[in-house]
Amino acid sequence: MATFDSVMQRPVGPRGMTVSTIAAIAIVAFAIVFPLFFDPLSGFLGTSIQALAYVVMALGLNVVVGFAGLLDLGYVAFFAIGAYTTGWVMSGFYGEANIHVFVTSTVEALPGIHMNFLLVLVIAALLCAVAGVVIGLPTLRLRGDYIAIVTLAFGEIIRVFAINGPEIRPFGENYPLTQGKQSITPIDQIDLPFLEPLNSILSLRGYYWVILGIVLVCLFVVLRLRDSRIGRAWIALREDEVAAASMGIPLVKTKLLAYLVGGAMGGLSGAFLGPFIQVVNADQFAFSFSIFILAMVILGGLGSVWGAVIGALVLTFVNNYLIPDVLNGVPGALGLDFQFSDLGFGVFGFLLVIVMILRPQGLFPERRRAIELTEGLDGPPGGPPMGATPAPTTTRGEA
């Protein structure tokens, strides 16, 4: 019987395109026209934009956790660095600097540091890539839970720096690191070359198409990395670090590249969310956000690129649309004295438990992991089940 993978790779049509290629083209085409079906300021469209931003983060974390097997509990740090990059160089936060790079004439009249959004994306990605290397260096000799503890500490360090930023002035008295729990606002609207500047007050469609483009670029990069030599090295590292080292895989380089790529994608998402939300403050970067992104990766399927996409979309819509807008008033209608949004973390926990019981490989698992969790228990064809005691063998002299 044909498997799902064989069906998706089956050539169809006169040009020999596979089913998976046709499906990908259809999904991208639908995603492009999707905002045209909603009001330009629709709340559902705003939730969709946030979902796509979280897709970028889930793809980045999936590289670290799913591909390389390095448990990261401090991923919120990359979101923070990317968002604060926009606060530093796309606002009037440093009002006395008066630096303008590739911005419109309207923005040029404003005080502070103002740079073009594409340049800010590059800066945020580079800063987070460096931060990824910094977090990776202390974990080179660690495994399992110890890596989780170090990355958790890194995320908390960034959060503490964000809270106490007003007291940290590395470049002079008038240049604090952050605004603490007060917000850096407003952030410049996104301005792309040869296009009119976006305006989230009038329409959200432009922001949707920008983050969709970032998602498509990140998907292309992750898929190419997964099928490359470094991708195979990450998977070997995840399966057995000792065996990977014995086969000549450079562990230091492989681990640092995983942190670098994952951190850069987190920075890209944070740099987009800064101008979209128009607010950057320390309260946005709690530890729970790292768990939220990790839950997306686990729900979709560890190591699965498309699983990370699906997990991010599902959890974002559950958290930002289904619970507050659809189910929030259900307990009150039943005579109960609470709102459904008060049970948000309980809902996430319930969903994860149900998925772990009914589909432990995730909603859209990587093929290798699906085989391990479903067929692996039966052992190799023709052999005893895994865990069973093999039948005793005898030599010719013992017979």
Q: Is residue 84 part of a domain?
A: yes
CA dist 83 and 203 (Å) reads 22
Three-state SS sequence of the chain: CCCHHHHHCCEECCCCEEHHHHHHHHHHHHHHHHHHHCCCCCHHHHHHHHHHHHHHHHHHHHHHHHHCCCCCCCCHHHHHHHHHHHHHHEECCCCCCCEEECCCHHHHCCCCEEECHHHHHHHHHHHHHHHHHHHHHHHCCCCCHHHHHHHHHHHHHHHHHHHCHHHCCCCCCCCCCCCCCCCECCCCCCCCCCCCCCCCCCCCHHHHHHHHHHHHHHHHHHHHHHCCHHHHHHHHHHHCHHHHHHCCCCHHHHHHHHHHHHHHHHHHHHHHHHHHHCCECHHHCCHHHHHHHHHHHHHHCCCCHHHHHHHHHHHHHHHHHHHHHHCCCHHHHCCCCCCHHHHHHHHHHHHHHHHHHHCCCCCCCCHHHHHHHHCHHHCCCCCCCCCCCCCCCCCCCCC
pLDDT digits (tens, 9 = 90+) for 227-252: 999 999 999 999 888 999 999 999 99
- Any domain includes 180: yes
Q: What is the residue-level pLDDT of the chain in tens, covering all 399 positions?
A: 444 455 455 666 556 577 778 888 999 999 999 999 999 999 999 999 999 999 999 999 999 999 999 999 999 999 999 999 999 999 999 988 889 999 988 899 899 999 999 999 999 999 999 999 998 888 888 887 889 999 999 999 999 999 999 999 988 888 999 999 999 989 999 999 888 889 999 999 999 999 999 999 999 999 999 999 999 999 999 988 899 999 999 999 999 999 999 999 999 999 999 999 999 999 999 999 999 999 999 999 989 999 999 999 999 999 888 888 888 888 888 888 888 888 877 887 888 888 888 888 888 887 776 676 666 545 554 555 544 545 554 444 444
Instruction: With respect to residue 126, please indicate whether it lies within any of the assigned structural domains.
Output: yes
Residue 184 contacts residue 87 (beta carbons within 8 Å):
yes
Tell whether 375 is covered by a domain: no
Is 304:322 a contact under the CB 8 Å cutoff? no
pLDDT of residue 283: 92
- In a domain, residue 340? The reply is no
- How far is Cα 48 from Cα 205, in angstroms, rounded to an integer? 10
Specify the pairing of strand 113-115 against strand 99-101.
parallel
Token couple for 69: 């097997």
pTM: 0.88
Question: Does residue 361 lie in a domain region?
Answer: no
- pLDDT for 15 equals 60
Half-sphere exposure of 220 (CA within 13 A, CB side): 7
In a domain, 76, yes or no: yes
Structural domain count of the chain: 1
pLDDT tens profile 296-320: 999 999 899 999 999 999 999 998 8
322 is a domain residue: no
Which residue range forms the structural domain that includes residue 118? 60-285
